[in-house]
Amino acid sequence: MKMTLSALRICTVATDSPTPALSLMIRGACLSLCVLLIYGLFHYGAQPIAVGLFATPVDKIAHAGVFGLMALMLWFLFERKYPLLVIGLMAMTGAVDEVHQLFLPGRFADVSDWIADVIGACLPLLVLMISRKKCSKSADNLPNGNITTKTPKDVG
């Protein structure tokens, strides 16, 4: 099976583990971004400008996008493990957000918003997990069972 260089790079990102120092930096950045997104969700969602900010079909896309990004950040925070925990945390965050909206003037809780939150959290994780499995299978078909690259030093 012949794979292109870009497919190998995607597989490397999906399957390789970074160094411990890089892993700690990535996880810290993911945690920070997730905390900022949750803060923004609750703080700016309580502002009067948030009432009717997006029209009905577009608000579901916004919900899915924000919760998808938060799910990705949590998934990388947990070192690409525990997808059900990530989805559960996103479902709880979405539920708390909808309950929070019950107490805000001009806002209301909507089950379809919560469903968009959960779907938004599931989709990117599903795509990454499927691509990770495909990359693992592709790597198993290589002669050594893994992806190797040669540096100019190795060639010369």
pLDDT digits 0-9 by tens, 57-115: 899 999 999 999 999 999 999 988 899 999 999 999 999 999 999 999 988 899 999 99
Structure-token match 């949590």, residue found: 74
Task: List, in order, residues 6 or more apart from 45 with CB less than 8 Å away.
Answer: 97, 100, 101, 104, 107
Residue 29 burial (CB count, 10 A):
13
Q: Where are the domains of the chain?
A: 28-138
d(CA 121, CA 128): 12
pTM of the complete model: 0.75
What are the CA-CA distances from residue 47 to residues 34, 53, 107 (Å)? 20, 11, 10
Whether the CB-CB separation of 67 and 94 falls below 8 Å is answered with: yes
Average pLDDT in the chain: 82
pLDDT of residue 131: 87
Tell me the Ramachandran region of residue 80: left when phi exceeds 0, alpha when psi lies from -120 to 50, beta otherwise: left
DSSP, res 19: P
Q: Which of 8-12, 24-28, 66-70 shows the highest mean pLDDT?
A: 66-70
pLDDT of residue 1: 45
Instruction: Considering only residues 72 and 8, tell me which one the structure prediction assigns the higher pLDDT.
Output: 72
Model confidence at 152, in pLDDT bands (50, 70, 90)? low
d(CA 78, CA 27): 8
